[in-house]
Structure 1
Amino acid sequence: MPSRKGRRWRKPQCLMMLLSLCLLWALGGLAQAASEPELITPDVILQGVPFELSVGGLDEKPDLRLNDQPVILAPGEAGQWNAESLELTQSSNRLVLLDASGQPLLSEELTAIPAWLSLIPAIVAIVLALVFRQVILSLFIGILLGGWILHGMDIRGLVGAFGDSVNVHVLEAASDSEHMSIVLFCLLIGGMVGIISRNGGTQGIAQRISRVIRGRRQAQTSTFLLGLAIFFDDYANALIVGNTMRAITDKMAVSRAKLAYIIDSTAAPVSAIMLISTWIGFQVGLISEAMSNIADWNESAYSVFVSAIPYNAYPLLTLAFVFMTTWLGRDFGPMLRAERQAIDGGGRRTSLSSREAIVEEAEIVTKPNVPIRAFNAIVPMLVLAGITLGGIYATGVAALGPGEHDLKDIFGEGDSFSSMMWGSLTGCIVALLMTQAQRLMSMTETAHYWFEGVKSMLLPITILMMAWALANVNDALQTSDFLVAALGESLNPAWLPAVIFILAGFTAFATGSSWGVMGIMMPLVVPLAWAVLEQNGMAGTAEGMPILYASVASVLAGAVWGDHCSPLADTTLLSAMASGCNLVEHVRTQLPYALLVGAVALVFGNIAVGYGISWWIGLPIGALLLLGVLMLVGRRPEPHTEVATKKAIAE
């Protein structure tokens, strides 16, 4: 009979043995699970659009069959095999993984949807926004429709799409760090504007500029020149120029629609082609990535970007056309009607529809009995610009490391998003301190008006978030991949720049994201252009390099063009917001101008270069044609413009 002491010793021993067996069993199960094969396929597959899939959990090369046809697999990471450039031409397809004896290990049914369905959400959102002028509702319907397509287009899928509209798509847009940087930048800019508007700063600027500006031409031209001066970032450009010039253009009877057009058509174009701006690092990085697989092309990415600037026909011609319309005072189409309404009403109010009541309610005016001092606005704005530029420079130097670097390389590597937030926060603090130091308002009033400025940004930021969410849906539906696949087949080298420009423009129009279009298309377009030129014996030649540079430039130019035409674009939204113009009114009035300049850029920029005509010949001819069209079709808004302007000044 064993003793109690022995039994006490054996119980823990048995327990330890039992735990060890359980642990070994669990580890064996995990090892078995880890070694089990798995098929990794896309959530959405479009008919006729290439896609990728992977097989995981196998050390030896597996036998994979798609519709009884063998699939070519290449080794990837440990235990993973990848298949690229697969295409499905029918809706239902069977994917089978076989073992060494030919017995099926795994099988999966792949469903391919018609590729054109990926365009439906963006097209529906754009059409509804233009027809009914309800932007938020139109964007929501586009998001809901895209989610329904992702969920299989049945009744149960509609319920799932409704839940995902905010819980997934909007939440993903809000959780993106770069998106939130833009949101915070806008909110802080709005708060700063709220302070300097109440403490008499912006009115002081308006009074000083009004002493020099004596008519509508000077007001519009000054807005254009200020847009050129704020070249370092398109977001900062739109917000600073809009909030600075809005009161002045109102006083000169310039419509809010014309102000929004000038802002929108200078912000992105000037930032896109300047040697130092927040766009440069992004573009150069994309070009470098795209060139990495081209062994015979040894040029630096920045050199390619600089060489491509003269081929950016749309941004260059857009800046020229904006100057023509502001200097000559001629307009046509919906813009002419908006200008006439502004002049007839002696200012902006008659140019605003009843749908713009929210914009009116959010407007901030100077606090009564406060001294009007321009430096209360000029100093915070200079601090904003200085800190932003300084931040980009400092982060660029830190990214490049020790050694001597060119200014263009430093700004290309700078962190623009962080720098913009530093600048806007410092601008807010400086505006607050200056207000308190001069005892213009109490701290409670200053905080209240700062928050009033922040609140004025909530509506456009809501629209911005919805537009980003729709862009996420388009990304999930592979809208850009479909457009590239549809137009990226056998191309004549002479038509490369033109096709790329149209493709980038339509994609940006449908998705509302110029940077997204560049990020997707640049790595695809550059190797494609090089391959087409190589097949025709033109790669690296004096005849082929202009086409290659024009192809690189066409991605950027098309993205900016599509943004100018789209109500979903972030720069379009910011320009309308900063100018206090209704979004749909801004798109309606700007669209004829953007289409005209886009058509001229396409013919005398992209097509001309493809057929061997130098850019320094094509661009001047395109500019002269735009001038001729403006002189032929354009009209001055009012024959008695000077009388109306004097009336506005007197008021």
Structure 2
Amino acid sequence: MDGATTLGFISVLPPLIAIVLAFWTRDTILSLGIACVVGVLLAGEGLLGFPNLMKESLGNTSFSWIFLLEIFIGVLIAFFQRTGAIQSFADAIGKRQASRKRIGVTTWFMGLFVFFSDYFSPVFVGSTMRKVTDKVKISREKLAYICDSTSAPVSVIVPITGWAVFISGLLIGLGPIQTETDALAVFTKAIPFNFYAVLSVLLVGLIASGMIKDFGPMRKAEERAQREGKLIRDGSTPLISKELTNIEPYFKDKLLSIVWNFFLPVLLIITIAVGTYIGLGSAKTMEAFLAAAIFLGIVMRVQGIPVKDIMETALNGIKGIMPAIMILVFAYTINALSEQMGTATYLIETTESWLNPGLLPAITFLLAAVIAFSTGTSWGTFGIMIPIAVPIAIGFAGGDINTVVLATIAAVAGGGVFGDHCSPLSDTTILASTGAAVDHIDHVRTQIPYAILVGIIGLVLYLGLGLFGA
């Protein structure tokens, strides 16, 4: 089926079924699988359309990249635990007798620091801070929220990330934006108008510090953790399996060097990711994790851990990360199905007639959020929305770059992240659940009220900006 065509309202049903079933059954993998089968039947492809769809959606470099990234992340987390590195890190912070608020704020700061990759940030922050937050009885849902809301929202408002490069690249050739320099300058000017991302990051800090009290399902999760000591809900299924979370340090009578087993591998990841971004224009995150895993494997052998044990630990890391990989498999499959059925095209066609200068930023924000929520991809949303919404804004501005144009660019970026935060299909949301070792749907349920609150504030600001700035 041609992606430029659409099956109309039918095209919205597969992602809608997946999301409704996920919240109802609390089984994301089953829900996504059912939605994919229903989708191919609705598209008239028959039952054989399902395996064919999986081959098409998974047999590409995009999925291979994130698949390998997850594998290397699982191996590295397993190595961290087998060497006792995470235990040492937790003990080092625990000696300071930090309060829940201080630990929460520290976790928030770590997320802000690791701004260069939205894939690395939630997994790194979640896996390294999990034992620390567990000690002070911060629920895993709260940890996942902090990790998730300091990953993509930070990456999309820093002009030296892959997000900035991608969005700037989409702007080249639109109206007066003719060069990479022009595009990056316009993107940078639009950052203050990215209300959702900016406010999301601020809200996390206020929630973590206790200046704003938890509300909704998150409040219940925090009360459960503090009063009952239950960091996860009874009957929940953490996105990292026991093969990974139950790994004990090899040397039980001594702790190995935290410098060699933790700080140097992390420094290696940061150096490679940032260095390749500066030198090549693209952060090689997957290669960075591979290098760190190999480095730490060699260090483990030098420290006296047998090769057989190192390999078993690596395999346990791969097994432990498989629940997250399975969700990603079906998420990529349903995203490909949505593209084939023309979900985004249908959503755009139903709203085109409403567009005017005053409502453009607000409608753009809403539409980007709906597309990202339905497809689970913010970058895909950017690729769809920027070539449509920005030329319209430039046309309304008479060919200039005015406030409405900047607000529209920011609305696409912020709306994509907003939809991502509310969607169980989002890869970054999945990675946040993985890093925090929490049930994926529990993370989404507890995060949605915060995302909606910030989304409503952002929408009101876009309405005001569009009406008074047009």
**Residue 279 of structure 1: CA displacement?**
1.2
Q: Kindly report which structure 2 residues correspond to 1:301-312, keeping only aligned pairs within 5 A, or say none.
A: 301-312=183-194
Tell me, which stretches of 5 or more residues in structure 2 are unaligned?
Answer: none
For the residue of structure 1 that corresponds to 2:16, the secondary structure is helix
Contact 1:213/1:219, CA 8 A, preserved across alignment: no
**Residue 529 of structure 1: CA displacement?**
1.6
What residue identity is the alignment partner of 2:282?
Answer: D
What residue identity is the alignment partner of 2:369?
Answer: G
2:198 is aligned to: 316
Match for 2:417 among 540, 553, 560?
560
1:573 is aligned to: 430
Provide the rounded CA distance (Å) in 1 between the counterparts of 2:119 and 2:95. Answer: 28
**Residue 523 of structure 1: CA displacement?**
0.9
Match for 2:315 among 451, 455, 462?
451
For the residue of structure 1 that corresponds to 2:257, the secondary structure is coil
Contact 1:121/1:145, CA 8 A, preserved across alignment: yes
| CA deviations over 1:537-587 (Å, ceiling 9, x no partner) | xx42xxx70000000111110000000001111111110011001011001
**Pair 1:415–1:312, CA change in 2 (3 A):** same
Contact 2:5/2:345, CA 8 A, preserved across alignment: no
1:215 aligns with 2:99: yes
Q: Kindly report which structure 2 residues correspond to 1:488-567, keeping only aligned pairs within 5 A, or say none.
A: 488-534=352-398, 539-540=399-400, 545-567=402-424
Provide the rounded CA distance (Å) in 2 between the counterparts of 1:43 and 1:231. Answer: 33
**Residue 489 of structure 1: CA displacement?**
2.0
1:377 is aligned to: 262
| CA deviations over 1:143-168 (Å, ceiling 9, x no partner) | 112211221xxxxx5xx2x2222x22
Q: Point out 4+ residue stretches in structure 1 off by more than 6 angstroms.
A: 296-299
**Residue 352 of structure 1: CA displacement?**
2.8
Provide the rounded CA distance (Å) in 2 between the counterparts of 1:525 and 1:366. Answer: 53
Write 1 or 2 for the structure with the bigger share of strand. Answer: 1
For the residue of structure 2 that corresponds to 1:489, the secondary structure is helix
1:14 is aligned to: none
2:341 is aligned to: 477
1:429 aligns with 2:310: no
Match for 2:160 among 276, 289, 292?
276
Provide the rounded CA distance (Å) in 2 between the counterparts of 1:518 and 1:44. Answer: 16
1:415 aligns with 2:282: yes
Q: Kindly report which structure 2 residues correspond to 1:296-445, keeping only aligned pairs within 5 A, or say none.
A: 300-328=182-210, 330-346=213-229, 348=231, 351-356=232-237, 359=240, 361-362=242-243, 363=245, 364-367=247-250, 368-375=252-259, 376-395=261-280, 414-416=281-283, 419-439=284-304, 441-445=305-309
1:244 is aligned to: 128
For the residue of structure 2 that corresponds to 1:456, the secondary structure is helix
Give the % identical residues.
Answer: 33
For the residue of structure 2 that corresponds to 1:332, the secondary structure is coil
Contact 1:199/1:370, CA 8 A, preserved across alignment: no
State the TM-score, normalizing by the size of structure 2: 0.94
2:62 is aligned to: 178
1:612 is aligned to: 468
2:11 is aligned to: 118
Q: Which protein, 1 or 2, shows the higher relative CO under an 8 Å CA cutoff with sep ≥ 6?
A: 2
| CA deviations over 1:78-109 (Å, ceiling 9, x no partner) | xxxxxxxxxxxxxxxxxxxxxxxxxxxxxxxx
1:55 is aligned to: none
Contact 1:565/1:587, CA 8 A, preserved across alignment: yes
| Pair member with larger Rg | 1
For the residue of structure 1 that corresponds to 2:77, the secondary structure is helix
Contact 2:78/2:313, CA 8 A, preserved across alignment: yes
| CA deviations over 1:272-306 (Å, ceiling 9, x no partner) | 111211212211111115x1xx3698881111101
State the TM-score, normalizing by the size of structure 1: 0.69
Q: Kindly report which structure 2 residues correspond to 1:49-60, keeping only aligned pairs within 5 A, or say none.
A: none
Contact 1:185/1:421, CA 8 A, preserved across alignment: yes
| CA deviations over 1:602-644 (Å, ceiling 9, x no partner) | 112x112213369xxxxxxxxxxxxxxxxxxxxxxxxxxxxxx
Count matched residues. Answer: 464
Provide the rounded CA distance (Å) in 1 between the counterparts of 2:330 and 2:114. Answer: 27
1:590 is aligned to: 447
Contact 2:165/2:184, CA 8 A, preserved across alignment: no
